[in-house]
Amino acid sequence: MMIKKSILGKPALSDLNLSSERFRESNGAIPNYRILTILLAAFLAGVFVASFFNLDFYRIYYFGLVIALIIIASNFTIKDYLTKIFSVATIIFLAGFLLFNFYNTKLNNLSMPFGQERELTGIISSYPVVDGNSQNFYLQTSDFGGSKKIYVSTSAFPNYSYGNKLKLKTIITKPINISSFDWVSYLKRYSTVATTANNPQITLISSESGNKFLKKLYLVRKSFELALQKTLPEPESSLGIGILIGSKQGFGKDLINDFAKVGITHIIALSGYNVTIIIIFLTDILLELISRKKIFILSIILISLFVAMTGAASSVIRAAIITLLIAFGKTIGRRADMTNLILLSAAVMVAINPFVLRFDTGFQLSFLAFIGLVYFSPIVKKFFERKLFRQIPILVKSVVTETLSAQIFVLPLILSAFGLISIIAPLTNVLILPTIPAVMLFIFLSTIIYWIIPAIGKLAFLICYLPLKYIILITEYFAKLPISALIIPGRWQTSIIIVYALIVATIIIQNRKVYVIEKAS
């Protein structure tokens, strides 16, 4: 690695420090920045391990305290540096383990009149999701002692909105897991432990409740949806809404299955994947034109618009944080250790809501894509520097590199979620993903024009129709191929994911120098 020189011709102080850290690392010592890596990873590991158990916090916490005190006391007699680090990591692991159990026990102990028919009043605290002939939302109520959330599923009409105050007559039910899907834990990540019987009797009391700012954001989202529904036919309008704000309403099951078969489900997932690709794409274009600081400011503006369009859902906020980290790392923070940035952001989000680590697919998709972009894109980029690919435009290679890197890392999650491996995912992603930034930009601008001058806006949406139709045609064509995807039985999925992870890890380790050079450049 070349060490940059200062004005006097000597190595810069920051580079000397970096070289010193790497010298310590090569001699078996742990660099200071890697101590933070170990501690953050220990916390996340503690939460992850705890998520497999349903333990009562009040029965186990004193065991954790005793173990922590023993470790702290023994540290006064331990002189070995590594032992001290790992003893602290053990305490952090216990903290993560206990934190998950605290949240889980708190939700388990919520008292609700399960199995009873009750009348209750509450306020819709989420953006209602319409799926075919049904809609669902979370209702905040104080009728059963303290503020509690209930998951409500009802017919699509009449259509309800965030902030509506409702009166319900229904049977309060306790959720149960559905086949292999952990429905109970899924609801817990929204602090919900109760549902209603199908089609409860609902009376609208008022529409003036809820957070006014959030209400305006949801109105913006609704306006985007209505603009596309009025100007584009199906399924192009639903695809446009899915790409722009992550909504899956309007999609038929056949099209969703086709997306899974060709490996592009992530383009309609509310995880920030699309915005991540756009930020990276713009960064690569603009680095030669404007300063890194201006690019970062532009990224903040674009990400803020994305948050507003999607109604500031919790999954979007997490995605925004991750995308801002990418923008920071690609522009003004290139000297920062990306591993620590990834782990720190994950640890903060998990500390706020421990259930997202294992039970939130959007959270997992965002971080896996981010990790792929950080650790695998330099390797893919090096591959495309070969003579065979020299005639390909730099911008095309940039988009393909970033999207393939992310796709390689999200593949195990897609296998786990859908039970299949898309054989042609690399090809379909190369054909489709480079169009996503342009599609999102066209849809956004067309919607703005439609709001100002509806007649011209309708014409502008014709530009959006062509790439949307292209994506659907590519999806339907490749999904029909007999070798498009392999269905993997559940008993084989874990083994395949482990082997796949080991292969990817081996490639990263073997190409570690490529990543170091990319990071230091």
Distance CA(518)–CA(512), nearest Å, equals 10
Residues 6+ apart with CB under 8 A from 478: 261, 262, 424, 427, 428, 484
pTM above 0.95, yes or no: no
Pairing of strands 148-155, 192-196: parallel
On the 0-12 / 13-18 / 19+ scale of CB atoms within 10 A, 280 is buried
Q: What is the DSSP letter of 268?
A: G
Contacts 24+ apart (CB under 8 A), 104-108: 104/50, 104/54, 104/55, 104/57, 104/188, 104/354, 105/55, 105/56, 105/57, 105/58, 106/57, 107/188, 107/191, 107/193, 108/54, 108/56, 108/193
Distance CA(185)–CA(176), nearest Å, equals 10
Q: What is the DSSP letter of 11?
A: B
Q: Considering only CA atoms, which of 512, 511, 520 is closest in space to residue 337?
A: 520
Q: Per residue of the chain (521 residues), give pLDDT as tens.
A: 444 443 344 444 344 344 444 444 444 567 777 888 999 999 999 999 999 988 999 999 889 899 988 888 887 777 777 888 889 999 999 999 999 999 999 998 888 888 888 899 999 988 888 877 888 999 999 988 888 899 999 988 888 999 999 999 999 999 988 777 788 888 988 889 899 987 789 999 998 888 888 888 888 888 888 888 888 888 888 888 888 776 666 677 778 888 888 888 777 765 556 666 667 666 766 777 777 788 888 888 877 777 766 666 666 676 677 777 767 776 766 556 778 888 888 898 899 899 989 888 778 877 887 788 778 888 888 888 887 777 777 767 776 787 778 778 888 887 887 777 888 887 887 788 778 777 887 888 888 898 888 888 888 888 889 999 999 999 999 988 887 888 887 777 888 888 888 988 888 888 776 555 455 45
Q: Token pair of 332, please? A: 């003004």
Distance CA(236)–CA(468), nearest Å, equals 6
Q: Considering only CA atoms, which of 272, 286, 344 is closest in space to residue 315?
A: 272
CA count, 13 A, side-chain hemisphere, 134? 8
User: Which residue do the tokens 């997202």 mark?
Assistant: 356
Q: Considering only CA atoms, which of 150, 246, 226, 235 is closest in space to residue 194?
A: 150
**So what's the pLDDT on residue 250?**
67
**So what's the pLDDT on residue 336?**
63
Distance CA(431)–CA(470), nearest Å, equals 10
